[in-house]
């Protein structure tokens, strides 16, 4: 596992042994940091990015989501949604419920959680993407990388 420090973020990138390394970990960490900036994530913080295969995602999907088969990505957040600014698609909770806060030793950053990606599924989806989906994803990718 490699840790990449980018501004207020520490991105821990872990490749499973049997997964092909299609992109440099540093490039993936930069995109993750840009996504955290775009989401208004609390800072400073750390996040884990685990690059796995369909078999691992299928197991996690069954265990944690109760669904059969692999999926492209699963996230395991450790902080509640209320620590992020409002954005479309986010479910809001009651204003009387304050976000959870954990006391950390001085100099430690909170861990936002982990994201597990099936590299197999991501490659397959990239090959099969419809043109309008590809255009939307390219626009988002461009906005994130320009930050």
Per-residue pLDDT of 74-131, as tens digits, reads 999 988 877 878 766 555 555 444 444 566 777 788 999 999 999 999 888 877 767 6
Q: 0.85 exceeded by the pTM?
A: no
Nearest to 23 by CA among 147, 146, 145, 136: 145
- pLDDT digits 0-9 by tens, 16-51: 999 999 999 999 999 999 999 988 899 999 999 999
pLDDT tens digits, 44-54 = 999 999 999 99
Q: Do 34 and 147 touch, CB atoms closer than 8 A?
A: yes
Question: Please, which residues bridge with residue 119 across strands?
Answer: none
What order do you get walking across the sheet with 111-118 strand by strand? 2-6, 9-15, 45-52, 111-118, 73-77
Domain ranges of the chain: 2-88+100-146
Fold of 2-88+100-146: Collagenase (Catalytic Domain) (3.40.390)
What three-state secondary structure class fits 94? coil
């Amino acid at each position: 596992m490699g840790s990449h420090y980018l501004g207020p973020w520490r991105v821990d990138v872990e490749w499973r042994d049997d997964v092909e390394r299609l992109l440099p970990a540093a490039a993936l960490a930069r995109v993750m940091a840009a996504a955290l900036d775009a989401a208004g994530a609390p800072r400073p913080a750390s996040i884990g990015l685990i690059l796995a295969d369909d078999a691992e995602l299928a197991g996690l999907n069954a265990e944690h989501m109760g669904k059969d088969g692999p999926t492209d990505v699963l996230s395991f957040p450790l902080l509640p949604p209320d620590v992020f600014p409002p954005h479309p698609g986010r479910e809001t909770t009651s204003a009387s419920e304050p976000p959870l806060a954990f006391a950390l030793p001085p100099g430690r950053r909170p861990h936002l959680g982990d994201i597990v990606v099936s590299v197999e599924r991501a490659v397959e989806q990239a090959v099969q993407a419809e043109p309008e989906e590809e255009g939307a994803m390219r626009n988002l990718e461009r906005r994130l990388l320009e930050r």
